[in-house]
Copies of this chain bind each other. A is one copy, B any other.
């Protein structure tokens, strides 16, 4: 073990491996040792990057949470209400579909929640921001708020649903956008 390891790359591979093992065995059923074995490194090498499984779980979820934050900021820049809603819906569906495995883990794994207080906070902040964007104002009416919550939580849950795991990304994306537009009162459009 005298070669210098490319540290950043090991970290990336470690997180990808952890996510795969989490989705196969659940967060609770995955040990640091299993991650090390799968990567072909020692447990010490895993420890070099992460001290606990919670740190790994947080790091696995972090890019998705950051993208959620950025999405809300970008969507809010549009002047027209319709453009804001479209931006938010398209971006959210895209994010959910790209991170399907992670979303599935979030919505189904009993072990991930406890480890993710920080991320839950991020998700909560996102929810507040999207409700105010979609419902359009500081005092949105109940109908608009209910539609916004059903649309975005429903899309996230469907994106991670095992029942839809065999649906390909592009089909799922179009279906979720279709459902979202119907719920949020946006006109139909052709998806190019």
The contact string, 1 if C-beta is below 8 Å from chain B, for chain A 109-122, is 11101101100100
Question: Do residues B163 and A154 form an inter-chain contact, with CB atoms below 8 A?
Answer: no
Q: How many residues of A contact B (CB 8 A)?
A: 37
Minimum C-beta distance from A23 to chain B (A): 16
The contact string, 1 if C-beta is below 8 Å from chain B, for chain A 138-175, is 00001101110111011101100101100100011001
Contacts of A178 in B (CB 8 A): 143
Bound: A131/B157 CA distance, A: 14
Are A146 and B131 also in contact (CB < 8 A) when A110-B113, A113-B113, A154-B153 are? Answer: no
Contacts of A171 in B (CB 8 A): 142
Contact of A127 among B128, B145, B163 (CB under 8 A): B163
* CB-CB nearest in chain B for A141: B175
A73 close to chain B: CB less than 8 A: no
Question: Do residues A164 and B179 form an inter-chain contact, with CB atoms below 8 A?
Answer: no
Number of copies: 2
Q: Is the interface of A mostly helix, strand, loop or mixed?
A: helix
Bound: A183/B114 CA distance, A: 32
Contact of A164 among B146, B163, B172 (CB under 8 A): B146
Contacts of A142 in B (CB 8 A): 164, 167, 171-172, 175
Question: Do residues A154 and B150 form an inter-chain contact, with CB atoms below 8 A?
Answer: yes
Bound: A129/B18 CA distance, A: 33
Minimum C-beta distance from A88 to chain B (A): 16
